[in-house]
Structure 1
């Protein structure tokens, strides 16, 4: 584990940019540095410095001679995308969300109808005594339970797709 020193400037920037408390900020920066990935070098007023990114915390650290000089919030990928494209993505996501929600309501409705039909067939099976009629009802019950399983699977798929779309809206 490599040892790093932290300049006061880096602590001040961390407090200012990330809202951290002064106590423990230097240790926190050292911890972030241990998990950071090397990105390259940059020229600054003080000369050559190395750039490290901690992707999980979205923090960029500038290091010179094993000393953390300053810290920044990593630039967002969305900052480079034109506003028109982001609006188009949001619009498409909203359209897909409406479509999936509508289909989900239909699937839930069909699932409820299928469950009622299964209950009716179970009740009809209890009422009859003829083995041929019971076999016929069993065949229908098998058909209905297969349909219910398919509808339940589709309901799960749609719920997952809606959750994924919710991230983009």
Structure 2
């Protein structure tokens, strides 16, 4: 078990915010650190980097300084109080509607991403074919060959434009769904 140094400030905050006794504060904070998860670095106004760890079971955040020293500790913010019982039927219905819309939106998002991927791959393949024809056109000397290649280039470019239009249409439709769903989610 790794032992962390605990500042006097952290001990006072543990007694004040977590309800442990002063004698047990250091040991309690060390125990919390054994199962806490690293959340990221915080920059203190004095320019020093602090590391934040969350202990989810006790809903506690621990802030560490240099040399694995526990500087302070506090509880996660409390959740909003629940509505009164008289509104519970309305809330349940609203929650059901919200979950239904959320599922439908997730389904549309999956379908859109799938379609976007397929169309993007198709555009890339057509652009590759277009580049090949343009290279052949640049290398060709015969006017007859160049004329045939320019027809192929125009045909492939038309396909690219059609697929891009289809992708733009799908993106616009998905963005409309996203805006409408945002109202409920």
Taking structure 2 as the reference length, what is the TM-score of the superposition? 0.45
Taking structure 1 as the reference length, what is the TM-score of the superposition? 0.49
